[in-house]
Structures are given as structure tokens and as C-alpha cells.
Chains A and B, each alone.
Chain A
């Protein structure tokens, strides 16, 4: 009998979007420690500075985080000693326009639209992005194996961002 309890073929777009919405909710609530648990150990979280880059490892990115960097980043954001994140801008985000782009035995790739409104110092800012997800179908349930957030203006001047995208 297999240890895997998840019925893989039956994972629906509704299951996947529920997972992504739960992630978005954790991020808006700054529940970063719980957010870390959504990731597979070798997952990569990437925010590029150019569109259409395939080889992120050899490019300068806004961030290129493996598990160790994610943990250090979360520690920093929650430490209370980072002036841009104590407190950070408030955020309200939505993720939608989901398209499944690939599926195999172990994972599903999705493309989606994300809109974040941030607010600090009496100023709203709008951050629109295309997001590419790879969601792993593991024994423990769904895990983030890859998340690439390509901001609509990633190749133009951004601003200091004291929270997670």
C-alpha cells in the first residue's frame, strides 16, 4: 500500500486555487512562519528584474531565495529591527486569472495574475504581477516548489518593499 494518500489525478483547479488563496492570506496577515511551511525543501522563490529571463540563477534578481534565504528573510521581516518592515506597508492582495500550464505525476504548473495594493505614509501603491507557480503533489499535500513573481514594471524603477510578494 502506498504511503501517498493524495489522490493525484483528482487534484482540481479549485484545490490549487484554494491553496494559493490560503498562501495570499498568510502573506497579507504577515503569518510568515506558517508561509514557510507551504514550501518544499528545494523550492525556489524568485522575483526577477527582467521579463522573459529563463536562467534566473545567472541573472540579477530582486530576490532568488532557496529555503535558507527564505528563513533568513522571514526572520529579518519579523525581527522588529528592520525599519522598512516594522511596520511594513499594509497590503491587500488578490490572485486570479488562473491557467494550468502543465501537469505531471508529481506537480502542476499554474500561471496567475496578482494585484497587491500597499499602503503606508498616506500613499497607496499598486503592484501588479504575473505569477508562475509550480505546486508539488506530495504525500503531505500540496507544496510550493517554485513561485516566480514577475512585476509588471520589474524592469523599471521599483521602490523599497518591506513585505513578501
Chain B
């Protein structure tokens, strides 16, 4: 037996060994603070998709770890991630979720900032002496880089370049973005919700096909037979593959890895009406086939450590709030092709609502399951969390040299926890 205090004195990384973790990883507030410091202030954290900043002087607000940030595009098009905290006495400079504006004025004493973070003007400048230079007080700016339209930020000036950090995951990001159907990917809207549980419970879930037929039985029962076969995620020879740096991919529907392949295949019956609508919009046959094939998204979940996943047809973003509270955002994406792809985007939105969100046919059951983990882990101090499941991946699927297992394996969780351990030990 050990107390939580004794755990706090141990090297954090020791809480995960091989294929099992100590239950304290979900419940220790001191560990949570250490994670915010060693992981969320240290590595690349997803903050936005490029389409969420649709022009000069647009912005959205968000978080990097527990720090509120402002994500802006300046008038030259450059993206900035800035702490949402006035340099004077710390008031937040913006409380809108998104919008367009060329200046951010702190409501408390009127300090005003440009979208690039520079301090533009201080009211009643005479009250400061001649050594006071506004150039010394911009909003705190994080490092920002992007890949495939995904914008990431980090507090760590020494973090490796984003592309190096993503490594083998980049191939899968490129494949994921093919669901733009040739028009590019655009954010269409989002659901967000919280559950009373630790953030790593959600991190595990996006690489957990094992739960799908059990937790999501009622979702599967609501589908037509053809679609139900598509969602037989354990029965199609899929696999889970460690992509390095905590990232992993879980392929559930191998026939939907590359959305630009097999365009000559017959259009499934359930999409016949959609295909007719798209043809009526003036799209040629090949474009109609590409749009229809892309409408349901890809057949895989790409988990990017620590806070985002490219999950079949949407982005799953997690935000740790406290040790036992996590906020999830399901970002619906579609095709950036204007009104002519309207029928495809509406179909995507309805499919998204069917499973995702606070009243979807899938999400509430996931959330209940995660809450049950947090409730259950109050018992059994010293008993491990098992992430040891998995037999070999089907022959010839994963890239040589990558650890891989069958689709129901917990390879992706082990990949994430190895990265977690590495960062917590540093």
C-alpha cells in the first residue's frame, strides 16, 4: 500500500511500465500539475485548423494545456498564438469564441494590442516614465507551426520542428485530408462537452476499437445493413500501429484508407440520392464519385499525442481542465467547395450528429464509460490499469520497424504512454 503523497515523491514516469499503469495516473492532482508542466508546456499542442481563421484579422480563442490563448491571423496572413492575458494586470483581452477584429483592447485599462500581439497603445501614457516602451510589453507569444492545415503551438523554444515531431504521422494526416474531396478541408462546426474524468482516459479511447461493438451497440443497431457492415470495425483485418513520439494510427476499415483509390467502384445504394444531387449541382462523374467516397470520412483514427486525433471524419480535441475533468471538442469538417458541395456537407453534418456530441448515438455512452473509469479507479490502490491487449497485426499491413497489433490491440495506448513516460521522466 502507498499513499498518494508517497506516489507524489516517486519519479512520475515509473507509474507506467511496459503494458500497465498505476491507477494514480487518473486521480493524482499533483501528477496532473506535473503533466501540465512537462507535457503541455513542452510539446506541440493542436490549437486550430487553418480554415477556422478564414482571412486577415480573424481569430478564435482556445487553450494550450490550462493556459487560455488567442489564435489570430494578422493582416499579412501570419498565424499567432498569444496568451489571452493583458501584460498590465492580467485581464483577459478577448472573451469571444471567434470573430474578426484588427485590435484587441483590454477592457480594464484600455491597453490595445494588434493581432500579432504588439502593444499598440496605452491610455494616459503620461503616467509612465520616459523609459516605458510599449514594444517591451507585447502579448506573450507561443511558437507556432502547421502541417496539412493543422495549427500547433508550443511554449518550448527548444522543441523539435513540428514536422519532425509528427514524423510518420504526416503520411496519415495527408491521407485524412483527402476527405476534402479535392476541395480542401473546412471546419463546419463543433460539439463540445465535458466529462468527469482524467484526460488520458479520452486519449486512450480514440485508439480503442475493442470497446466499439460493445459500447456502441445501439449506434450499430440504428444503421442500415450496408452501413452496419462498414462499421464492423473488428472484422475487416485492421490494425494499430505505433508511429513514434506517442502518435499512433488505428485502421478499422482498410478499404477506406485512401479516399482517392477505387473511385471506379459502384456508388453504394445509400449514397445514390446524394450522388444525384451532386450531379445536379453540375459536378462531373469523377468529382461526384470522389465527393461521395469522401462523405463518410476515412477508415482510420490517427491519434496525435497529446491532444488531438484525426478521427474518421472529424477532429477530436481534448483539453485537460483538472485531474478529473476533461473537455472534448468534436470538430465537424467538410469540403471547402462552397454551395456546389452543399449536399455533401449537409450529409456529413447529419452523419456527424448521428454519432457525435452530447446527444449523439455514440458520445453519451463513451462519456458514461469514461466517467465509470474515474469512479472505479477510486478503488484498488496499487492495482494496475491493463493496456496489454493485442496479437500480431495482419501480415504486410504496418510499416516495417513499427510496433503493431491487431485492430483491437492496445498498441496505440502503449505508444502514448511510452511518450508520456519519456516526457514525465525528463
B191 lies within 8 A of chain A by Cβ = yes
What residues of chain A lie closer than 8 Å to B195, measured between beta carbons?
159-160
Task: Known A58-B349, A156-B192; judge A162-B368 contact (CB<8 A).
Answer: yes
In the bound complex, residues from chain A placing their C-beta under 8 Å from that of B354 are 69
A contact set with B: CB distance below 8 Å? 47, 49-50, 57-64, 69, 72-73, 75-76, 79, 81-85, 121, 155-162, 165
Complex contact B346–A58 (CB within 8 A): yes
21 contacts between A and B (CB under 8 A): A49-B357, A58-B346, A60-B332, A60-B349, A60-B353, A63-B360, A72-B361, A73-B361, A75-B218, A75-B222, A76-B221, A76-B361, A79-B218, A79-B221, A82-B364, A83-B215, A83-B368, A158-B358, A159-B194, A160-B358, A160-B366
Residues of A within 8 A of B332 (CB): 60
Contact of B389 with A by CB under 8 A = no
Kindly provide the distance from the CB of A140 to the nearest chain B CB, expressed in whole angstroms: 28
Q: Is B340 an interface residue (CB 8 A)?
A: no
Known: A58-B349, A76-B218, A82-B218. A160 touches B191 (CB 8 A): no
B270 / chain A contacts, CB cutoff of 8 Å: none
Min CB–CB distance B360 → chain A (angstroms) = 8
In the bound complex, CA of A85 to CA of B368 (Å) = 9
* Complex alpha-carbon distance, A42 and B346, angstroms: 18
Q: How far is the CA of A47 from the CA of B368 in the complex (A)?
A: 21
Instruction: Report if B188 contacts A (CB, 8 A).
Output: yes
Q: Is B217 an interface residue (CB 8 A)?
A: yes
A121 contacts which chain B residues (CB < 8 A)? Answer: 371, 375
Query: Contact: A159 with B193, CB < 8 Å?
Result: yes
Asked whether B76 is an interface residue with its Cβ less than 8 Å from the other chain, the reply is no
- Contact partners of A76 in chain B: CB under 8 A: 218-219, 221-222, 361
Residues of A within 8 A of B375 (CB): 121
B365 touching A83 by the CB < 8 A rule? yes
Interface string of B333-368 (1 = CB under 8 A from A): 000000000100110011011100111110111111
Q: Can you name the residue of chain B whose Cβ is closest to the Cβ of A80?
A: B218
- Complex partner residue of B191 from A60, A69, A82, A83, CB under 8 angstroms: A60
Tell me which residues across on chain A come within 8 A of B188, comparing CB atoms.
60
Residues on A with beta carbons closer than 8 Å to the beta carbon of B364: 82, 84-85, 160-162
Instruction: Assess whether B189 is in contact with A82, with CB atoms less than 8 Å apart.
Output: no
Whether B222 contacts A155 by the Cβ 8 Å rule is no
Chain A residues positioned under 8 Å from B361 (CB to CB): 72-73, 76
Chain A neighbourhood of B190, CB < 8 A: 49, 60
Not counting A76-B361, A82-B365, A162-B364, a sample of 17 additional A-B residue pairs whose C-beta atoms are within 8 angstroms of each other reads A47-B359, A49-B357, A59-B349, A62-B353, A69-B354, A72-B222, A75-B221, A75-B222, A76-B219, A83-B372, A84-B367, A157-B192, A157-B193, A157-B327, A158-B191, A160-B193, A160-B195
Pairwise interchain contact A159-B367, C-beta atoms closer than 8 A:
yes
A160 and B352 contact, CB distance less than 8 A: no
CB-defined contacts of A61 to chain B, threshold 8 Å? 353
Within 8 A of A (CB), among B127-175: none
Q: Which chain A positions have C-beta within 8 A of B55?
A: none
Write the chain A residue with the least CB distance to B314.
A60
Q: How far is the CA of A82 from the CA of B188 in the complex (A)?
A: 28
B10 at the interface (CB under 8 A from A): no
Could you tell me if B217 and A81 are in contact, using CB atoms closer than 8 angstroms? yes
Cβ contact within 8 Å between A161 and B221 = no
Assuming the contacts A60-B349, A64-B353, A159-B195, asked whether A84 and B97 have C-beta atoms less than 8 A apart, the reply is no
Known A83-B369, A84-B365, A121-B375; contact A62-B357, beta-carbon cutoff 8 A? yes
Contact A57 B346 (CB under 8 A): yes
Q: Which residues of B contact A81 (CB under 8 A)?
A: 217-218, 221
A49 surroundings in chain B (CB, below 8 A): 189-191, 357
Asked if residues A63 and B353 are in contact (CB atoms below 8 Å), the reply is: yes
In whole angstroms, what is the CA distance A165 to B364 when docked? 14
Q: A160, B363: Cβ atoms under 8 Å?
A: yes
Contact string against A for B residues 296-339, beta-carbon threshold 8 Å, 1 for contact and 0 otherwise: 00000000000000000000000000000001000010000000
Q: Whose C-beta in chain A lies nearest to the C-beta of B97? A: A155
**Complex formed: what's the CA distance from A69 to B361 in Å?**
10
Interface string of B185-212 (1 = CB under 8 A from A): 0001111111100000000000000000
Q: Which residues of B contact A157 (CB under 8 A)?
A: 192-194, 327
Q: With contacts A76-B218, A82-B365, A83-B365 known, is A161 near B349, CB below 8 A?
A: no
Give the complex CA separation of A141 and B360 in angstroms. Answer: 31
How far does the alpha carbon of A165 sit from the alpha carbon of B359 in the complex, in Å?
10
Chain A residues positioned under 8 Å from B215 (CB to CB)? 83
